[in-house]
């Protein structure tokens, strides 16, 4: 009878141990998923104050050149997100230079180009953050890797923000998992 009681206690203890182990594994997996998720609400703004005209001596020439560079960068934006940021900055610089030279119509026109491109880039930025969060949650590592790279390109000019640091902290882990999934 005593042996049977000890045997039952051993089984209960073993069952409890297995339950604790399974709970620990589940919590560890959930913790790993939650640390790899990207908070979409805590992100930096991509654009700060617009740059001023870099050359005060020949503002029209500088404006024309900056506008041309803006068009070139804007054409490259679909292939490299950093070029979209540069395009906006060049258009904003052109706007400032046109304003300095008294060419308000040109300043307005180029300012509208910058504004339209900013809307597009900010929309793409929000979309990439959401796609990344979804891909991490569903463990779709190849999509997550693509979005992390895109977001790192968009935020390359931003230093010291927690969101950007978070992206850098997960890029290696996501790369490894994407390669393992192939």
Residue pLDDT, tens place only, 133-182: 999 999 999 999 999 999 999 999 998 899 999 999 999 999 999 898 77
Residues 63, 99 contacting (CB under 8 angstroms): no
- Assess if residue 5 is contained within a domain: no
- Assess if residue 19 is contained within a domain: no
Average pLDDT of the chain, as a whole number: 84
CB neighbour class for 34 (10 Å; exposed up to 12, middle 13-18, buried from 19)? exposed
What is the structure's pLDDT at 27? 44
- Assess if residue 81 is contained within a domain: yes
Residue 65 has pLDDT above 70, yes or no: yes
Q: Dihedral of CA 80/47/88/123: which sign?
A: positive
What is the structure's pLDDT at 173? 93
Of the two residues 151 and 32, the one the predictor is more confident about is 151
**pLDDT tens per residue, range 91-125:** 999 999 999 999 999 999 999 999 999 999 999 99
- Assess if residue 174 is contained within a domain: yes
Residues 26-48, mean pLDDT to the nearest whole number: 61
- Assess if residue 92 is contained within a domain: yes
Its domain, for residue 161, covers 32-181
Of the two residues 88 and 21, the one the predictor is more confident about is 88
**Distance between CA atoms of residues 23 and 32, nearest Å:** 14
**Distance between CA atoms of residues 60 and 67, nearest Å:** 10
CA 76, 81, 86: angle at the middle one, nearest 5? 70
Residue 22 has pLDDT above 70, yes or no: no
What is the structure's pLDDT at 86? 97
Share of the chain above pLDDT 90, in %: 69
- Assess if residue 11 is contained within a domain: no
- Which tokens in the block code for residue 133? 């969060």
Residues 70, 116 contacting (CB under 8 angstroms): no
What is the structure's pLDDT at 35? 41
Residue 73 has pLDDT above 60, yes or no: yes
Considering its fold, how many domains does the chain have in total? 1
pTM of model > 0.85: no
- Assess if residue 90 is contained within a domain: yes
- Assess if residue 14 is contained within a domain: no
């Amino acid at each position: 009878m005593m042996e049977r009681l000890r045997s039952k206690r051993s089984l209960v203890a073993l069952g409890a141990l297995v339950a604790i182990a399974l709970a620990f594994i589940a919590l560890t997996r959930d913790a790993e998923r939650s640390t790899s998720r990207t908070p979409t609400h805590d992100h930096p703004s991509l654009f700060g104050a617009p740059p001023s005209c870099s050359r005060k001596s020949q503002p029209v020439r500088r404006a024309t050149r900056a506008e041309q560079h803006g068009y070139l960068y804007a054409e490259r934006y679909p292939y490299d997100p950093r070029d979209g940021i540069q395009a906006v900055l060049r258009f904003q610089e052109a706007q400032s230079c046109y304003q300095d030279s008294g060419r308000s119509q040109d300043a307005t026109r180029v300012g509208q180009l910058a504004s339209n491109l900013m809307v597009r880039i900010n929309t793409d930025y929000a979309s990439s953050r959401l796609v990344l969060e979804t891909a991490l949650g569903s463990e779709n590592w190849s999509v997550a890797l693509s979005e992390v790279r895109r977001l790192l390109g968009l935020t390359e000019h931003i230093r010291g923000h927690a969101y950007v640091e978070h992206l850098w902290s997960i890029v290696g882990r996501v790369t490894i998992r994407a390669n393992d999934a192939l």
